[in-house]
Structure 1
Amino acid sequence: MLLCHRLHILAVILGWALLPIQCLTIPPPQQARGLLHRRDDRAPDPIDPKIFDAILHYATYAGTYLSAPCKQPPLGAAVVAFTQNDTTATQQTIFRHSDDREVVLAFPGTANPTDIGTDLNFPHTPHPACDGCNVHQGVYEGWLSVAGQTMAQVKTAMQETPDFKFIIIGHRLVRTDSLTIGGGGSLGGGLANLAYVDMQRAGMKVDLVVSFGELAVGNQQYADHVDKIAGASDDNIGMFWRVTHSNDGVPLLPPNALTSIIGQDFIQHRTEFWAQDGPDGETANASTTFRCYGQMSQACNTGQGGIGINPAHVFYPYTVFNQT
């Protein structure tokens, strides 16, 4: 069956709207049912305390600004460059921390109506990373709007300090006295994902990627490609850490219940680190944060029944930031 021109599909997820879909073929039911993620539902393991500490450290960069450039860099870091595309509202900031010997590229998340339009523009578009790779059109267009300038800025920053590590961070987190508040929609995580893949394709050095509440960026082939280049498997955590919280619904967007109907699956990549809240509602900590297996484990965030931009997405649990 073919859906053409101005047919509108009602998205049943909070924050999704009526979206025009152009000429999409609906697969037969057995094919739609075959659009399943590769998951491993074994019980997650306790997180390595060193990894938990690193997540806290990099979350500090994710929590520093609402718009580029950052006016209060964290931990004594300095802003060395920033980019903002006014048409797509896509932005990033590049930090250098001399004591930590790191250059950090940070993408904020959804923060304005243009960003919301980017999030909603989810039909597949091809990505040259691999045969069959398809990605979220809106996020990809957002990344491409700043890609050239961003990659040039990163190259310059790393040439000045070639022995520093290069880290990519995605999401917007805002520090309060008691907890961390995340912005609606995890556009920053998706931008970090696409930046990593294109930088890897360009032969650029990337030491680690950390995303918080990242939406699903691409299809099964793309998720498998990300796992491959990141060295992520059930035996190795790799160099791309996808942090989720409780029943945050945003990592399940775009909703496969909708996209499978039109034959466009969105699958998350490894490696997931899932933060639960404590049994009495206390903030998640190292003892309640776990290393998950598979790409979208039902034993972790995927199986918690979260829908859209819910409290678990708005309130990420890390509280030990030391911002200035």
Structure 2
Amino acid sequence: MTLPLEPLGTKEPAAVSTIPVSLFASLERLARLVDVSYCLGTTGIHKPFQCISRCDEFPNVTLASTWSTGFLFGDNCGFIAVDHGADQQRRNDGPVEDDKQGAIVVAFRGTYSITNTIVDLSTVPQKYVPYPSPDHGGEEPEKPSHECTNCTVHSGFLESWKSARDSVLPELKALRAKYPSHPIHLIGHSLGGAVACLAALELKVSLGWDGVMVTTFGEPRVGNAGFARFVDDVFDLDGLIDLEKRVYRRVTHADDPVPLLPPGEFGYKSHGGEIFISKSALSPSETDVQLCIGNADPNCSAKDDSSVENLLHRLLHFRWTTASLEEYTERMSFPARFKLWQLFFAHRDYFWRLGLCVPGGDPTNWGRPPYQPHDEYL
């Protein structure tokens, strides 16, 4: 059977070429916050909000609690904090206020080593029920406003959330009662992004909480097509209206293999809400970040989701192409999801290189100040 080659040169331009400066600043700030979570398992995070990495960049954030499960922080860990908002960033013409509204922040740490990252992407599916029964520690649910039909999820991701929920939910309920006007913002990188997704669904569907926001960086595929549709439905990720106001932002990066794993051949699908960083190297600007439409926008990470069959077909039929050199190079390039060496680079390069709990973050970024909005947007 001959498989058709994907047509080249037919991609439509992105619907939105750049994101608003305010959104860029918010994502960059959250990337630094989730980077702090990597101090768990090494030097730690301490009250009021202290660590050897980026904690001093958030003077108005106070630590509520941390958690860890598994041997030597090997399974799941993170922190819960209260962001009182209005971080003061000093500029030549005075202070700048960013993120004025307060929030309760739940940060899920990613996998700590390259070995763990590969193991976490095993592909054992499990039936998904978004609201736990009372027999399994859940509250008696009312009939949910959303139902997940024919949904399966990665069993490792689900077990990771189950192991953390007994630590996370009681603290969140107490903070929600204390700060009823604060939204709950779940953030996570890598494995932490998958766990943040499952946690957010339980808060929204099982507990019926409003004001739940999610921002993930390098989130892998969590479940099958039914599950992806469920996430889109719960967080209103379908359609083209107000893309920049979506409450679920799934940030991806050029050449990062993880958002394309586990592979579609095993039944896994991406959900919507994608925001794509098209620049390969650090540091991106607003013009390098675009809002994506649907869950397989050909202008975003999906353009590198070549199947194994198509990859082999290109390699076996390279003599027959009559394309230009540029088209030939594009056709013969290695798909991103097979570039596992990028787990060291592209998978961690989300505004900053994430995952190193050292003073100032990754040494290659030393001396680069946090992003500051342009004067015309102040």
d(CA) in 2 for partners of 1:320, 1:142: 34
- Aligned mate of 1:239, from 243, 247, 252: 247
Residue 98 to residue 123, structure 1, CA distance change in 2 (3 Å): same
1:94 is aligned to 2:60: no
Deviation at 1:302, TM superposition (A): 2.0
| RMSD, aligned CA | 2.4
Deviation at 1:240, TM superposition (A): 0.6
Segments of structure 2 that go 5 or more residues without pairing to the other structure are 4-10, 86-100, 131-147, 305-334, 353-367, 372-378
Segments of structure 1 that go 5 or more residues without pairing to the other structure are 1-28, 34-40, 172-185
d(CA) in 2 for partners of 1:321, 1:159: 32
Give the % identical residues.
24
Deviation at 1:232, TM superposition (A): 1.0
Deviation at 1:113, TM superposition (A): 8.1
Look up the SS of the partner of 1:147 in the other structure. Answer: helix
Q: What is the aligned partner in structure 1 of residue 104 from structure 2?
A: 103
Instruction: In structure 1, give the amino acid aligned to 2:260.
Output: L
Q: What is the aligned partner in structure 1 of residue 196 from structure 2?
A: 192
Q: What is the aligned partner in structure 2 of residue 272 from structure 1?
A: 274
Q: Map 1:139-218; keep pairs closer than 5 Å.
A: 139-171=157-189, 186-201=190-205, 202-218=207-223
Can you list the C-alpha shifts for 1:56-112, whole angstroms capped at 9, x where unaligned?
121121111324353433512111012111256211200112234111000010114
Q: What is the aligned partner in structure 2 of residue 291 from structure 1?
A: 291
Deviation at 1:254, TM superposition (A): 0.8
Instruction: In structure 1, give the amino acid aligned to 2:64.
Output: V
Deviation at 1:296, TM superposition (A): 2.1
Look up the SS of the partner of 1:65 in the other structure. Answer: helix
Instruction: Name the structure where helix makes up a greater proportion of residues.
Output: 2
Question: Which is higher, the Rg of structure 1 or of structure 2?
Answer: 2
d(CA) in 1 for partners of 2:239, 2:369: 29
Can you list the C-alpha shifts for 1:183-215, whole angstroms capped at 9, x where unaligned?
xxx101111111111111222334310000111
d(CA) in 1 for partners of 2:230, 2:254: 27
Look up the SS of the partner of 2:284 in the other structure. Answer: coil
- Aligned mate of 1:57, from 29, 40, 58: 29
Contact 2:221 2:261 in 1 (8 A): yes
d(CA) in 2 for partners of 1:282, 1:142: 31
Q: What is the aligned partner in structure 2 of residue 75 from structure 1?
A: 58
Contact 2:240 2:293 in 1 (8 A): no
Q: What is the aligned partner in structure 2 of residue 315 from structure 1?
A: 349
d(CA) in 2 for partners of 1:131, 1:165: 28
Residue 207 to residue 187, structure 1, CA distance change in 2 (3 Å): same
Residue 252 to residue 92, structure 1, CA distance change in 2 (3 Å): same
Look up the SS of the partner of 1:312 in the other structure. Answer: coil
Contact 1:118 1:142 in 2 (8 A): no
Look up the SS of the partner of 1:63 in the other structure. Answer: helix
Contact 2:282 2:351 in 1 (8 A): no
Q: What is the aligned partner in structure 2 of residue 223 from structure 1?
A: 228
Q: What is the aligned partner in structure 2 of residue 301 from structure 1?
A: 301
Look up the SS of the partner of 1:110 in the other structure. Answer: coil
Look up the SS of the partner of 2:37 in the other structure. Answer: coil
d(CA) in 2 for partners of 1:109, 1:230: 23
Look up the SS of the partner of 2:170 in the other structure. Answer: helix
Deviation at 1:314, TM superposition (A): 2.9
Look up the SS of the partner of 2:36 in the other structure. Answer: coil
Q: What is the aligned partner in structure 2 of residue 9 from structure 1?
A: none
Residue 56 to residue 282, structure 1, CA distance change in 2 (3 Å): closer
Instruction: In structure 1, give the amino acid aligned to 2:203.
Output: M
Deviates more, 1:43-52 or 1:157-166: 43-52
d(CA) in 2 for partners of 1:137, 1:265: 13
Q: What is the aligned partner in structure 1 of residue 263 from structure 2?
A: 255
d(CA) in 1 for partners of 2:369, 2:292: 23
Instruction: In structure 2, give the amino acid aligned to 1:229.
Output: V
Contact 1:105 1:167 in 2 (8 A): yes
Q: Map 1:2-17; keep pairs closer than 5 Å.
A: none
Contact 2:200 2:212 in 1 (8 A): no
Can you list the C-alpha shifts for 1:205-230, whole angstroms capped at 9, x where unaligned?
34310000111101111011101111
